[in-house]
Structure 1
Amino acid sequence: MSKRIVWALALGMAWAGCAQAADEPPLRITRDSTEFVVHTPGGPLVIKRSKTACGAGKGFVQALVPQAGVTPVTEIEVLHALNDPATMVIDMRDEDEPLKTTIPNSYHIPYNELEDRLDVLGCQRLSGKSWACRRAVNIVAFCHGPMCLQSPAGIASIVRLGYPVGKIAYYRGGMTDWEALGLTTVTGHRPLNSRPVP
């Protein structure tokens, strides 16, 4: 069999693997809806979401800006942030599932632990859940990908506690887009004791 035929078969199988899975329950597009109506010249068209082999079924599409004032970033900005000594790129995925790979040079602080670990981000605990964040570091938050609500939830929790929103960037693409683009991944995260000093 020629290389060209093998390549065509492999490509066809890859596309077939991303095809819609049959008999799946309706998946959410937003928090409250499983469909969206687009008014086309040919009449209304209902857009629905189905689980595919290439896309997670959990969650729903996250806003590009999860909190007013947060800066959305692409892979290019994440790459530059990885070399910025004043910025922490933070993998906010929790550990319900083992984290097999991550973005190189990133730190790991699960989204549901952030409220108690703001000291790692340059804040000072005053009392109870009260923090002073005048010396907060710049962060880039990410999680599983565009459907994942973990990093948006983590961002919301630290903003609520007074973390300066202007020091937060959000990489909505997360691991889904990073890996889909074929960018290098690693096992393990950068140790928190190597974090930037504010």
Structure 2
Amino acid sequence: MKYAKALIRLALVGGIALSGAAMADHGNNITSTLHSVDVMHNGKTVTIERSSDKNATVPKAYNKVARHCPPFCIQPMPLGQGIETLGELEVLGYLKRVANGDRTVLVIDSRTPEWMARGTIPGSTNIPWNKINVDVEGSFAIDAEAETLQGILTDTFGARLVKGSWDFRNAKTLAFFCNGAWCPQSAVNVKTLVRLGYPAYKLKWYRGGMQSWVSLGLTTVNH
């Protein structure tokens, strides 16, 4: 019996050592079976992986815990019926689809230029939140901001304006993010599109945003 227990103990120790060695070969994996994801950003391949620097810390822009509300109020987990809230692995999945040439999907950074200068998620497309968050009740023919939104809807999102009504049947699936669970910008954009009639199942929201992304040590790039 003692001999059998010793063999089991040896096997367990050996298994743990082997597992640790396998992980060491790949640094900090994203998951136990996923080391990295290659995406396209501004026409170049970028590899998203987790930092293996044991001294790395969260960038200063994201280490504040006190943020005035409003406007920086904590956002709910669900934005509305049919709208999926994403985690990092789901975002990586959409980024990989884009990199593989899937033109039906778009990952959107809703932040403004001064935040983009601090880095973004590779493979995402920047559309500042205030380009979408306009008075959707106004006339597209008169209001310049609404005309900008119309251009985004047709040229970027793939919607069609037919006799004054929006046709979203061939519109893209959109995954929005901004700075974090305290940032309302991407949430507002999603709600604006829902009011316009954009199908909820085609709208995704990465609630954690940049703060969660950098907290996990995932790769960022300068816009």
Q: 1:55 aligns with which of 62, 65, 68?
A: 65
Aligned-pair distance for 1:68? 1.9
One-letter amino acid matched to 1:123? A
Point out 4+ residue stretches in structure 1 off by more than 3 angstroms.
95-99
Q: Distance in 1 between matches of 2:163 and 2:193?
A: 15
Aligned-pair distance for 1:134? 1.2
- CA, structure 1 residues 66+126, in 2 after alignment: closer, same or farther (shift >3 Å)? same
Q: Distance in 2 between matches of 1:169 and 1:73?
A: 7
- CA, structure 1 residues 144+56, in 2 after alignment: closer, same or farther (shift >3 Å)? farther
Q: 1:153 aligns with which of 185, 188, 199?
A: 188
Q: Please report the TM-score for the alignment, with normalisation by the length of structure 1.
A: 0.64
Aligned-pair distance for 1:125? 2.6
Aligned-pair distance for 1:56? 5.5
Task: Report the equivalent of 2:213.
Answer: 178
Would you say the 8 A contact 1:56–1:147 is kept in 2?
Answer: no
Q: 1:131 aligns with which of 154, 166, 169?
A: 166
* SS of equivalent residue, structure 2 residue 106: strand
Identify the structure with the greater helix proportion: 2
- CA, structure 1 residues 106+97, in 2 after alignment: closer, same or farther (shift >3 Å)? closer
Instruction: Structure 2: give runs of 5+ residues left out of the alignment.
Output: 1-54, 133-148
* SS of equivalent residue, structure 1 residue 89: strand
Q: Distance in 1 between matches of 2:121 and 2:63?
A: 22
Q: Does 1:70 align with 2:83?
A: yes
Tell me the C-alpha RMSD between the 2 structures: 2.6
- CA, structure 1 residues 110+126, in 2 after alignment: closer, same or farther (shift >3 Å)? farther
One-letter amino acid matched to 2:91? V
May I ask how many residue pairs the two structures share in their alignment? 141
Task: Report the equivalent of 1:89.
Answer: 107
- CA, structure 1 residues 94+177, in 2 after alignment: closer, same or farther (shift >3 Å)? same
Larger Rg: 2
Q: Distance in 2 between matches of 1:53 and 1:184?
A: 17
Would you say the 8 A contact 1:67–1:155 is kept in 2?
Answer: no
Task: Report the equivalent of 1:166.
Answer: 201
Percent sequence identity is 37
* SS of equivalent residue, structure 1 residue 186: coil
Task: Report the equivalent of 2:46.
Answer: none
Aligned-pair distance for 1:152? 0.6
Q: Distance in 1 between matches of 2:66 and 2:168?
A: 35
* SS of equivalent residue, structure 1 residue 102: coil
Q: 2:128 aligns with which of 110, 114, 120?
A: 110
Please list the CA deviations of residues 126-183 of structure 1 after superposition, one character each: whole Å capped at 9, or x if unmatched: 466x422111111111001100000010001111111111011110000010011110
Aligned-pair distance for 1:110? 1.4
Q: Distance in 2 between matches of 1:95 and 1:83?
A: 25
Instruction: Structure 1: give runs of 5+ residues left out of the alignment.
Output: 1-10, 19-51, 189-198
* SS of equivalent residue, structure 1 residue 185: coil
Aligned-pair distance for 1:69? 1.2
Task: Report the equivalent of 2:175.
Answer: 140
Task: Report the equivalent of 1:79.
Answer: 92
Q: Does 1:121 align with 2:157?
A: yes
Please list the CA deviations of residues 51-98 of structure 1 after superposition, one character each: whole Å capped at 9, or x if unmatched: x94435140110111122100110000011101123111001133655
